[in-house]
Amino acid sequence: MAISLRYGSYFYGDYQVGTERKEIGVGSVEVLGGKNEFKGRQIVVKNQSSSDGWNPKGHSHCSIHASNCLPRAMKWWEKSIIPNMTEITSSDHLVESLATAGDKLVIVDFYSPGCGGCKALHPKICQLAESYPDAIFLKVNYEEHKSMCHSLRIHVLPFFRLYRGAQGRVCSFSCTNATVKKLKDAMAKHGTERCSLGPAKGLEEEELLVLASNGGARFNRPPALSSI
């Protein structure tokens, strides 16, 4: 366990957390807090030199905070994320993101943490997002949103859906790292500049109804009117 001082130094040692003093090789440390409850608690280092003459910056005492010095390792799908890439958190979030995209090209990327093909393709997706700063990339974690993915009939991964303004969904397909050209070609075809054709359509009406029936969305969107 490493504990960082405010002054930027570090010291290591094994000690029993409690209200007693323990020698850990760098001076006398008074630990405040119960056993194993040091996270976020203050530790006071008294100005008592050890046998090697260690002294914390010559101050009468200094305050340090115990913390886990090793940050949580980033998952592969969290790495190299570009500002125009968004992780979808719910069905409502997906519906709203598509509905407010205007005439921008939207790429919905369905992936799974345990999918080797998804992991291999991820760096290419990040490169495409960087190359198309005006496009919107929405990432959907299949493991966290299985009901939504089933409602949208996503049965193979990695899988992509492309949406554009009033046209709604313009294409959908699965591709891998070896066939990523399919995605590049689709983005080049549907991502050209043009005048807006109207408000964004987003998901199809039947998809919205299925999502709502499965309890995955609580959006407020009027149903399509019959043309009788």
User: How does strand 2-4 pair with strand 10-12?
Assistant: antiparallel
Residue 31 CA to residue 20 CA, distance in Å, equals: 7
| Residue 33: closest CA among 46, 12, 10, 16 | 16
Catalytic-labelled residue, pool 118, 149, 171, 195: 118
DSSP helix/strand/coil, 222: coil
Tokens 């591709």 label which residue?
175
Residues forming a β-bridge with 141: 111
User: Is 118 an active-site residue?
Assistant: yes
User: Is 62 an active-site residue?
Assistant: no
Residue 207: partners with Cβ closer than 8 Å, 6 or more residues away: 151, 152
Catalytic-labelled residue, pool 115, 126, 171, 175: 115
148-155 long-range Cβ contacts below 8 angstroms, 24+ apart: 148/90, 148/91, 148/94, 148/211, 148/214, 148/216, 149/110, 150/214, 151/91, 151/207, 151/210, 151/211, 151/214, 151/216, 152/203, 152/207, 152/210, 152/211, 154/110
The one-letter code for the residue type at 126 is C
- Catalytic annotation, residues: 115, 118
